[in-house]
Structure 1
Amino acid sequence: MNIHTRFILHLLGRLILTGFLLLLSLLIIFLFIAFLTMNSAIEKDLTTAEGLYFSDRFEIKEGNATIDEHLQKVLQKQKSWLIILDSKGDIAGSYGAPDSVLSSKHLLSAADEVPFTDIQTWEILNMDDEPSYVMLGKHHPEEQWMSKVQDEVDWGKGEWLLSTKDQRQMKKEGVWIQLTDPDGKVLQAYGDRPPSEDYTYQDLLQLDDPNQTVHQDPLSGNILITGIHPPAEAPISVPIHNGWFIALIVIALLILFSTFWYARNLGTPLLIMVKWIKQLSDGQYSQPVNQVGESTIYKRNGKLKRNYRLYKELFSQLSKLTDTLKSNERHEKKVVSSREEWISGLSHDLKTPLSSITGYAQMLQSDQYEWTPEEIRDFAGTIVDKSAFMKDLLDDLTLVYQLNSQALPIRKEKTDINESIRRSIIYFINTAQADIRFLPAENPLLGMVDRKWFQRILDNLLSNAIKHNRDGTTITISSEAIENQLMVIKIEDDGEGMDAETLSHLFQRFYRGTNTSDSGSGTGLGMAITKQLIELHNGSINVQSAPDEGTRVRLILPL
């Protein structure tokens, strides 16, 4: 899965999770609002409650019930009374219940006889599976006053006569009364409710209210209205409004948290990458670490931490880049060190033949001695050898720079490979103190090579095999074709071999495995040049060697 697809799935997953959390929060808030609304409605009228409401508001211990103080206040506010019965039907506790009901042997019949009272019962299931019962009686004082005032009204005259005691009691209980004619005109009124100028017919139809009672005299048609002011309380919409306010706060916090959380998940890896890149630009080729030196990106087992998996390709490439830069830095240091060593050795190699040339020239120039013709020829031979060595050294340097700058011309042409190998062998066989053997391919081996540089490859390999082995070493050269596509040339000897360090630096420029004080030991560029020439022919070279086990060189080139 590429980073584009993974990024889309990551974003989609976060949106789904955020949406789920948002819906869950809204559901919880709606349930909370419903609970507030239900509680508000119950505390306005206990007859709308369920048994669960009462089960948490009283406790029966050893046959005695303790009623919650809050429930007592609600009962008092609603002018209601409560009786709690145990599983046997015995009274365990009560609040505000009439004595006539409490002293009766038959509670239900006694409660029904209490005037102007509604009776409702609930069965409460307890943890011990023994039920208890709640009996609620709700007084209707407006109906009580309606009955009492009716006896004091002169329906024909449209007036009543109330005693001072009744008026004080009505004021104490918040009761009001009004008497109107059949057309709704207010004839007389008492109480805190202001008299209406007139009741319309529609107003008379809407007089039905839980807190008031209406009676119309069948003879006169006059209407008596009694009512009671409910206790002051917050409207039912207040908890709903508070709930919505809480919902808005929760949603805002959820969105803020989701934004911060998602930004952190996306932004933290980007900040780490920026920090990593800055470290690389400052030459610090390592991963970012925390205060205790542990990687901030990878676990101890080498796996990416969860927050960084979205960008795993980028972190993988940064890790590879870091390793490459670190390797290049080490390699550069080695190259600089090797170059300095090589230049030091090269300076010595140039000084040695140059000193010989200068010394012999000064000897020939001196008039203090008379040199014989044989001595003069011997001096001249030494000068020629040293000059040739210096020329070879300078030629190798020129060739190295040509190879590095890809300026070396390659002219490939069809060549008999076996014949080229024979020429190299003939060149060395007359001077080398080694047993050189050639095992050519059975069929003619024709390849597209640059004859000059291919001959240089063979000469370098044979020269190394002869120069770095003792006299009498057997050197075997063989050639073969592989499916008419590749040719394989092997140069094997049973000589001294090489140690692992020399083998690892064999194709490195500026590295010389032999003593640089010997001017005849070579320039230290031969194998590096050989490898580059082989690669220019689209080939490869492999060398295997061990001390006292000889060396095996395998050269593979396309036919």
Structure 2
Amino acid sequence: MIRKRLAVRFALQMAAAGAMLVLLAAVIAIWMLGKFEDIEVSRNFAPLGISRLISEAGMDSQGLIVDPKLLRRLQEDGGWLQSLDGKGNVLQSFNAPNDLPTRYLPGQLIDYWIGNEPFPYKLGLWMQEKDGHLYTLLYGSRSRTKDLLGRVIDDGHILNHTILFTDSSLDLLNKIGGWIQVLDREGAEVASWRKPGDALTSYTLQELAMRAHNQAHYGIAMDSQFDSRTGLTWIIQYPMNQTENQASRAPFIQSEVQVIIIGIAAFLFTSFIVFILLSLWYANRFGTPILHILGWIQRMGEGDYTEGNEGKGRNRKGIWKRKYRIFGEVMESVHSLAVRLHAGKDAAEQTQRNREEWIAGVTHDMKTPLASIQGYAHMLEAEKYSWSVEDVRRFASTILEKTAYMDKLLNDLALTYRLRSGEIPVHFEPKDIGILLTESALRAAAHPAFESREVHCSTPSTPIIVDVYPPWFDRIVENIVANGLMHNPPGTRIDIALIKLSEKGWRVDFGDNGHGMDQLTMERLFDRYYRGTNTDSAIEGSGLGMAVTKELVHAMGGRIEVNSRNGQGTVISIIWDA
């Protein structure tokens, strides 16, 4: 059972940990996708970034776009945005310079857009719907070097693969920290000015297009212009960080790769933290009860059978706490073992005490008759006395009486052990238990020592036939009657009743009106180690009569019970349930 519970518990907890890691991976993946989108928006701010910002922007009561974030991003990008109506009128402007018109004629705007008419800005035109309104958006940006490139082409003079400029053009070029290259129709370099050592000397169509489109990837801004008069292409490049005279180079790690590395590192780190926390939780959840059990077992080995730590494994109601409940069977088994060991220890100590008391009692019971025998023997041996025949016979009678008592004591001791081990083979025979009980009770009551006591026996009119061993049954009745009459004052009455049980079986009650017994005496009444009576009080008192009685009752398949209180008499019942 505990194996199944542990397997289920570990499976559920591993599943929970896996679900947590999946959730963590999903969160990191969402973050990475957001970062990828931000990178793509940064690279393609128009129209992708602007479309996204407008879709997230709010609207005022007049249907105008309200978004400070859009304005801030336009300022960072260096561009501007205008919203136009169907007739070309400007409805709303964001970061727009002063030289922009407030109305665009339809044909004129198209010429600006496709380049048929000169316009100082690169234009982007698209339409976007938001909240049921269709917006015509015009985006523009001015290149930092577009005008400078035209001046450089007009002012530059190529001489021996070198380009010469006037001082005013040199001042403008120095401010941006860039360099100039001139390419022929095949893309090979014809001349250059301040070109870095790692710059290309020849460009393919694809290479030139990639560097113009994905400038952030290379970390270098670039503008180019074809001179139709000479058939040459002029290129101006400069570092995007605008640091003077710093050689431009591509980033060591691309932005997407950086995001992936950060995402993987975050997942590994958080997974490590999750497993550390899970390990600590497991150590507390499973280690604590295991250590508690091991400590409990160790204390039991040292003779301390208590749970220890003030029973911290249980709550105030005595129920195992949650973390200990999974090991409930083990804890209960250890608890049962502790109870049994403690009971065994107490029983061993009690046995030792009983043995000592028994030895003291038997020694006393043996010494008393031996002292009498020894005394009479010395008297008979003494030469200074001349005993008559009657004296010798009286002495001999006393010696025989004491030796008979010792013989009975030894026989009772042997009988109790033989009954306990089942070494006495007997043959049970059917008898009328009422007749057998009456005869045994009368014989026991006829002893001269009990002349002042009364014994009454009542049996049912219907005979009760049972299989018993008559000598043993007679000994049981004799011992119980003798015990009740011997240990109670003169005038004591014993009432014996044979009762047929309602279902099956029968019972005999021996009730007296004597002074009763206390709890300790009842508990030890049938203890064979309990000290016997003084041999001077009665010859029948071997001290083992009730122990023999209990063993005989058990040997014949019955049980014996005692009910007594001080001053209220005693009832001893022998019961056969079948």
**TM-score normalised per structure 1:** 0.76
Q: Deviations over 1:280-329 (max 9, x none)?
A: 1221222122xxxx333223432222221111111112112222222332
The change in CA–CA distance for 1:172 and 1:440 in structure 2 (over 3 A counts) is same
Give the superposition deviation at 1:543: 1.0
User: In structure 2, how many angstroms separate the alpha carbons of the residues matched to 1:345 and 1:476?
Assistant: 31
Cα 1:482/1:268, change in 2 over 3 Å? same
> Do the aligned residues in 2 keep the contact of 1:118 with 1:139 (CA within 8 Å)?
no
Shift of 1:333: 2.4
CA contact (8 A) 1:496 1:550 kept: yes
Are positions 1:342 and 2:347 aligned together? no
Aligned residue in 2 for 1:180 = 183
> Per the alignment, do residues 380 and 266 of structure 1 end up closer, same or farther by CA in structure 2, a change over 3 Å counting?
same
The CA distance in 2 between the partners of 1:136 and 1:461, in whole Å, is 121
Range that drifts further, 359-368 or 159-168 = 159-168
* Matched position secondary structure for 2:575: strand
Question: How far apart, in 2, do the equivalents of 1:35 and 1:225 lie?
Answer: 35
Taking a change above 3 Å as real, the CA distance of residues 479 and 449 of structure 1, as seen in their structure-2 partners, is same
Alignment partner of 1:355 is 2:371: yes
* More deviation, 518-527/236-245: 518-527
The two structures, once aligned, show a CA RMSD in angstroms of: 4.4
Counterpart contact for 2:459–2:497, Cα < 8 Å: yes
Aligned to 2:281, which of 228, 251, 261? Answer: 261
1:418–1:444: 8 Å Cα contact kept in structure 2? yes
Secondary structure at 2:279's aligned position in 1?
Answer: helix
The question of 1:166 aligning with 2:169 is answered yes
The equivalent of 1:550 in structure 2 is 569
Describe the shift of the 1:173–1:452 C-alpha distance in structure 2 as closer, same or farther (beyond 3 A).
Answer: farther
In the alignment, what sits opposite 1:423? 439
CA distance in 1, matches of 2:351, 2:535: 18
1:414 pairs, out of 426, 429, 437, with: 429
2:482 alignment partner in structure 1: 463
Partner of 1:297 in structure 2?
A: 313
Runs (5+) with no aligned partner, structure 1:
56-65, 83-88, 121-134
Other structure's SS at 1:479 match: strand
Report the residue type matching 2:240 in the other structure.
P
Q: 1:141 corresponds to which residue? A: 144
Give the match's secondary structure for 1:141: coil
Provide the C-alpha distance between the structure 1 equivalents of 2:142 and 2:36, rounded to a whole number of angstroms. 24
Equivalent residue number for residue 63 of structure 2? none
Partner amino acid for 1:345?
Answer: G
Contact 1:174 1:191 in 2 (8 A): no
Alignment of 1:306-317 (within 5 A): 306-317=322-333
Structure 1 residues 79-228: aligned runs within 5 Å: 100=98, 115-116=120-121, 139-149=142-152, 162-190=165-193, 192=195, 196-203=200-207, 206=210, 208-211=212-215, 212-216=222-226, 222-228=232-238
Contact 2:488/2:515, CA 8 A, preserved across alignment: yes
Partner of residue 265, structure 2: 245
- Structure 1 residue 26, shift from structure 2 partner: 2.6
Work out the CA distance in 2 between the residues paired with 1:307 and 1:147: 80
Q: Work out whether residues 142 and 175 of structure 1, in 8 Å CA contact, stay in contact via their aligned partners in 2.
A: no
Q: Which amino acid aligns with 1:509?
A: R
Counterpart selection for 1:490 from 506, 509, 528: 509
CA 1:150–1:398: 2 relative to 1, 3 Å: same
Aligned residues: 511
CA distance in 1, matches of 2:318, 2:276: 34
Counterpart in the other structure of 2:4: 5
Measure the CA separation in 2 of the matches of 1:144 and 1:529.
Answer: 129
Residues 28-73 of structure 1: per-residue CA shift (max 9 Å, x gap): 4335545655666677777638769x99xxxxxxxxxx99xxx99x
Higher mean displacement: 326-335 or 280-289: 326-335
Structure 1 residue identity aligned to 2:426: R
User: Which runs of structure 2 are paired with 1:446-525 in the superposition (5 Å)?
Assistant: 446-482=465-501, 485-512=504-531, 518=537, 520=539, 522-525=541-544
AA paired with 2:360?
S
Measure the CA separation in 2 of the matches of 1:165 and 1:300: 93
Aligned to 2:456: 437
Contact in 2 for aligned 1:174/1:192 (Cα 8 Å): no
Give a deviation string over 1:482-501, Cα, whole Å, max 9, x none: 36742222222222221222
Closer/same/farther in 2, CA of residues 347 and 213 from structure 1, 3 Å limit: same
* CA contact 2:405–2:542 (8 Å) conserved in 1: no
Query: Which of 373, 397, 414 pairs up with 2:413?
Result: 397
Please state how far the C-alpha of 1:335 moved relative to its aligned partner. Answer: 2.8
Seen in structure 2, the aligned counterparts of structure 1 residues 206 and 250 have a Cα distance that, compared at 3 Å, is closer
**Contact 1:460/1:530 (<8 A) preserved:** yes
2:327 match: secondary structure: helix
State the alpha-carbon separation in 2 of the partners of residues 136 and 513 from structure 1: 120
> How far 1:220 moved relative to its partner?
6.7
- My pick for the range that moved more, 214-223 or 542-551, is 214-223
1:414/1:446 contact within 8 Å kept? no
Contact persistence 2:163–2:193 (CA under 8 A): no
Corresponding residue for residue 23 of structure 1? 22
Could you tell me how far 1:545 is from its partner in structure 2? Answer: 0.9
| Residues 35 and 259 in structure 2, CA contact (< 8 A), matched pair in contact too | yes
> Please, which of 554, 561, 565 is the counterpart of residue 535 of structure 1?
554
**For 1:533, what is the secondary structure of its paired residue?**
helix
> Residues 533, 485 of structure 1: CA spacing in aligned structure 2 closer, same or farther, 3 A cutoff?
same
Q: Could you tell me how far 1:517 is from its partner in structure 2? A: 7.1
Q: CA deviation at 1:239?
A: 4.0
Match of 1:379 in 2: 395
More deviation, 214-223/4-13: 214-223
Percent identity over paired residues: 27
Asked whether the equivalents of residues 171 and 191 of structure 1 are also in contact (C-alpha less than 8 Å), the reply is no
Instruction: Name whichever of 269-278 and 418-427 sits farther off.
Output: 418-427
Distance 1:270 1:427 in 2: 66
